């Protein structure tokens, strides 16, 4: 499977499109806990979708202790840069705007850029 095929297959799912847009719009690393709370989905489901985006070469991850942080690729091909630009500036349906608001509220619970809350009142296990 070529890179374009992987990318378009990854983006053919609304959950993955929402996740990628969240990462692109916020332009910083976000803990899986924050993504779980934003989307209101179980951690295993969010992690599965993040793994598909990562395998498509659209996002990157970094573990810090028990916390797993994700961000979109900062440098990539001109195609990916245009895709991220499209996600950032052209997609503005209600569900995506609601995601932005929920994430902004959730990020206020962190300390600096670190997630310290976890999800569902439990410790994050990324």
pLDDT of residue 113: 66
For domain 3-107, give its CATH number from 3.40.190.10, 1.10.10.10, 2.60.40.10, 1.20.1600.10. 1.10.10.10
Q: Give CA separation, 20 vs 3, 35, 120, in Å.
A: 16, 11, 22
Kind and range of the H or E run holding 81: helix 78-89
d(CA 31, CA 27): 13
Give pLDDT tens digits along the chain (126 positions): 688 999 999 999 999 999 999 999 997 899 999 999 999 999 999 999 999 999 999 999 999 888 899 999 877 789 999 999 999 999 989 999 999 999 999 888 866 666 766 655 444 444
Sketch the domain layout of the chain as residue ranges: 3-107
């Amino acid at each position: 499977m070529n890179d374009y095929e992987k990318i378009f297959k990854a983006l053919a799912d609304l959950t993955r499109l929402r996740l990628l847009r969240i990462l692109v719009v916020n332009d910083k690393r976000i803990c899986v806990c924050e993504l779980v709370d934003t989307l209101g989905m179980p951690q295993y489901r969010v992690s599965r979708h993040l793994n598909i985006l990562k395998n498509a070469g659209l996002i990157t991850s970094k573990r810090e202790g028990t916390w797993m942080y994700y961000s979109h690729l900062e440098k990539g091909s001109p195609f990916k840069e245009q895709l991220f630009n499209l996600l950032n500036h052209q997609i503005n349906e209600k569900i995506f705007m609601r995601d932005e608001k929920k994430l902004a509220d959730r990020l206020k619970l962190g300390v600096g850029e670190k997630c310290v809350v976890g999800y569902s009142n439990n410790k994050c296990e990324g």
